[in-house]
Amino acid sequence: MNNKDLMQLDGYDIHFRLICSEDHERLIRFYYKLSDKTKFLRFQFNTANIPKVRVHKEAAFLCNLDRNTHNAIVAIIQRDNQEEIIGVARFVRDSETASAAEFAVVVLDEFQSKGLGKKMLLKLIDAARKMGINCLLGYLLSYNDVMIHLIKTLNLKTKIINFRGQIEAYIDISQQGTDKSCGKKPKTGREFTF
């Protein structure tokens, strides 16, 4: 990513880069700053009793990704003389077909509804296309109106399957929007990561 990857929000310069192993502590701080509501929307279960050791383990996993199968972009600001993560967008590839991946985006509460989530998802789509991925699947709670709206504003072919309160949102990111297999669930071994 280059200098064009800058955005200004609430007086902060935000820059975007791929996650790296030095982000471990920053990711943990990010996780603990998320509200319960945001964590529930993202992880879809009550995270209140998640032990610290698991959060640390998940952070270690996410910031040391195997880049053949995963990718993650972070949004960073400079606050209190240090880098702070304010958003994470990630995908994990289908272990069989490699042309599909599961994705997720989460933005720190104070920076939500200001265009950051959409910007991060667009960057993630760019990165996914470069890896030959044609289809992204997001698991959402059926009442997650912001994310559902965001996906619809991408103007890409999408398929939304609503089943018992959970949505599978398939986004066809192939250049012509003609990936016929988009809608088939990728096998990713889902994990709890930021």
Ligand X SMILES: CC(C)(COP(=O)(O)OP(=O)(O)OC[C@H]1O[C@@H](n2cnc3c(N)ncnc32)[C@H](O)[C@@H]1OP(=O)(O)O)[C@@H](O)C(=O)NCCC(=O)NCCS
The CA distance from 105 to 117, in Å, is 7
Q: Which residues on neighbouring strands pair with residue 135, listed in sequence order? A: 100, 172
34: its two tokens:
């998320």
In whole angstroms, the minimum distance from the beta carbon of 56 to ligand X comes to 21
> By C-beta, is 38 or 69 nearer to ligand X?
38
Of these, 92, 117, 133, 186, which contacts ligand X (CB under 6 A)?
117
Q: Which residues of 142-155 are buried (b: 16+ CB within 10 A; e: fewer)?
A: eebeebbebbeeee
For the chain, what is the radius of gyration of the CA atoms? 16
Q: Among residue numbers 51 through 110, which ones bind ligand X (CB under 6 A)? A: 104-107
> Residues 32 to 51: which contact ligand X by CB under 6 A?
38, 41-42
135: helix, coil or strand? Answer: strand
- Give the binding range for ligand X (CB under 6 A) out of 13-21, 25-33, 115-123, 129-137: 115-123
Specify the stretch interacting with ligand X by CB under 6 A; choose among 22-30, 67-75, 113-121, 122-130. Answer: 113-121
Give the residue closest to ligand X by C-beta. 117
Cβ proximity to ligand X: between 142 and 178 the closer is 142
Residues in the chain: 194
User: Shortest CA distance to 91 belongs to which of 28, 34, 173?
Assistant: 173
Q: Using CB under 6 A, which residues numbered 118 to 177 contact ligand X?
A: 118, 138, 140, 144, 146-147, 149-150, 153
186 binds ligand X (CB under 6 A): no
E strand or H helix that includes residue 20: none
Q: Which residues bind ligand X (CB under 6 A)?
A: 38, 41-42, 104-107, 112-118, 138, 140, 144, 146-147, 149-150, 153
